[in-house]
Amino acid sequence: MTFSERLFNNIQSIWNQNHQHPFVQGIGKGTLPKEMFQEYMKQDYVYLIQYAKLYAIGVQKANDLASMTHFAQLLHNILHFEMNVHREYASQFGITTEELEQTKPTPNNLAYTSYMLSVAQNGTLAELISCLLPCAWDYWEIGKLLKKQYGHQLENNPYKTWIETYSSDEFGSIALWLIKLLDEITIGKSEDELAVLENHFQITSKYEYLFWEMLMSGQDWPL
């Protein structure tokens, strides 16, 4: 069994709860209130700004030129394509790019990105990938699942672009590349080292859940 197969098998119960989350299901059905999606675009925009830095650290920590080039490509794509989906949704809602950028991250959002950046800066390349992988991989799983469940009724769904983006093969190729690299660099690692990596993978998977929770509950700073 590869390391990614082990991660995938052990994460099922957590990811299932992500997939069944009312926020995710609301996107699939197209019933999620617009104001909630607007808030999501704002929070996710500042999340992605921090996430993009993880790819930059990937460039720095990569062990060979091919991986370095690939991380640089992912960095370019997130800034120019993924964040563009947010900018376009925001402009439909009358939110400017400046407003998106000035969004103050909620406690859960800040905790999630701070965790990943701390591990990225202090840890190994394998630790960095273990942290950023649930984001790419579970979103692809969510995209595919929603497409399967609700694909026949997407025409009137305001979140169709979101579902089409995250269920696409192009998007899936990001997760597949990260999985392949992680499998390669974990060959021969001890059980203790693998357990550290799996812990990062589980924590950031749980932060994915907390991100949906924070949006659903309208979490904000109390003071």
Ligand X SMILES: Cc1ncc(C[n+]2csc(CCO)c2C)c(N)n1
Stretch that binds ligand X, among 47-55, 151-159, 180-188, 189-197 (CB under 6 A): 47-55
Q: How far apart are CA 209 and CA 122, in angstroms?
A: 25
**CA 185 → CA 3, 58, 89, 189, 191, distances in Å?**
10, 13, 38, 8, 14
What is the Cα–Cα distance from 71 to 67, expressed in whole angstroms? Answer: 6
Closer to ligand X at the Cβ: 39 or 44?
44
Q: For ligand X, which stretch binds (CB under 6 A), given 20-28, 100-108, 117-125, 132-140?
A: 132-140
Determine whether 208 is an active site residue.
yes
Q: Should residue 51 be labelled a site residue for ligand X when binding is judged by CB under 6 A?
A: yes
Q: Between residues 3 and 45, which has the closer beta carbon with respect to ligand X?
A: 45
Q: Residues 206, 212: contact at Cβ < 8 Å?
A: no
Tell me if residue 82 is catalytic. Answer: no
Spell out the residues 6+ positions from residue 205 whose beta carbon is closer than 8 angstroms to its own: 11, 14, 15, 18, 134, 138
Stretch that binds ligand X, among 8-16, 31-39, 131-139, 186-194 (CB under 6 A): 131-139
Residue among 123 and 172 whose Cβ is closer to ligand X: 172
Q: Does 211 bind ligand X (CB under 6 A)?
A: yes
Q: Which amino acid is at 89?
A: Y
Read off the tokens for 76: 């370019």
Q: Which of 88, 135, 141, 170 is flagged as catalytic?
A: 135
Residues in contact with ligand X by the rule CB under 6 A: 44, 47-48, 51, 74, 78, 82, 135-136, 139, 174, 208, 211
Which residues are known catalytic residues? 135, 208
